[in-house]
Amino acid sequence: MRFTSEQRLDDGVLEREFTLGEIPGILWTPESVSAPAPLILLGHPGGLRKMYPRLAERARHSVAEGFATATIELPGGGDRPRSAAAEEARADLLRALGAGEPVNDEIVDRLVLPLVEKAVPEWRTALDALLSLPEIGGPVGFSGGVISIGIRLAVVEPRISAALLFAGSFVPRTMFEEARQVTVPLQVLLQWDDEGNDRQLALDLFDAFGSREKTLHANMGGHTGVPQFEGDAGNRFFARHLK
């Protein structure tokens, strides 16, 4: 892990860009800490540069409550090498959506499963590096999407203690089986009229999770319309489980 830039934002937030081998990432921490801060990993759909404004806003909101937050670029996202198979799956998905056709399971599998396979070990490597910093301690939460990455991480990575998952992306059928193995406390965000997301499938997925404590927050509006107050609700969820 190599820090490549550092800037102080207002509100006492220190933002540092880093690389982890070929993978770029960003770490936000409180400028001054008296004890190692619990860490929230910020999930996103890929494309750090495009997602930066929204990620930074989420990060600053969490840092203000005493959390460290970090994110890394997804495989194929931003300037990272694209896989021909993923590009083809994405093109097939866009074609189906554009034609108003149902998106069949086979396309979703081709799009999401290889991404999960590749991304999850990278997040775990990032976790090793982040937790070795003196200003960061455990426990660790995952917040955001891609929801399938969050599910797999929650299943295979024992250092994840709580997850706030955004039900805003296509989910392969096989992930329902993995969802049953998730046992950490969950908060699931659902946008009721998400253009690219099947509401019933999201409700079925919520039902499938094995966690004893799980809460669904459904709000009106489309994919990008998550209300601002869910930022506070997320902080309170993580405060209950990471502090």
Residue with the two structure tokens 């969820």: 237
Least Å distance between CB 241 and a second copy? Answer: 11
Least Å distance between CB 137 and a second copy? Answer: 24
Where do the DSSP E strands lie in the chain?
2-9, 13-20, 23-30, 37-42, 68-72, 136-144, 160-166, 186-191, 214-219
Closer CB to a second copy, 2 or 212, in the complex: 212
CA distances from 187 to 44, 55, 212 (A): 16, 18, 11
**CA Rg, the chain, in Å?**
17
| CB proximity list for 219: less than 8 A, separation 6 or greater | 189, 190, 191, 192, 225, 226, 227, 230
Where do the DSSP E strands lie in 43-174?
68-72, 136-144, 160-166
Least Å distance between CB 237 and a second copy? Answer: 8
Least Å distance between CB 218 and a second copy? Answer: 4
Which of 172, 20, 152 is closest to 93 using CA atoms?
172
Closer CB to a second copy, 32 or 228, in the complex: 228
Q: How far apart are the first and last CA of the chain?
A: 26
Closer CB to a second copy, 131 or 233, in the complex: 233
Closer CB to a second copy, 107 or 190, in the complex: 190
| Residues forming the site for a second copy (CB under 8 A) | 192, 203, 206-207, 211-220, 227, 229, 232-233, 236, 240
Least Å distance between CB 220 and a second copy? Answer: 6
- 18 within 8 A of 3, measured Cβ to Cβ: yes
Closer CB to a second copy, 5 or 228, in the complex: 228
Residue 35: HSE in the Cβ half-sphere, 13 Å Cα cutoff: 5
Closer CB to a second copy, 95 or 243, in the complex: 243
Least Å distance between CB 214 and a second copy? Answer: 6
Which of 217, 212, 202, 219 is closest to 241 using CA atoms?
212
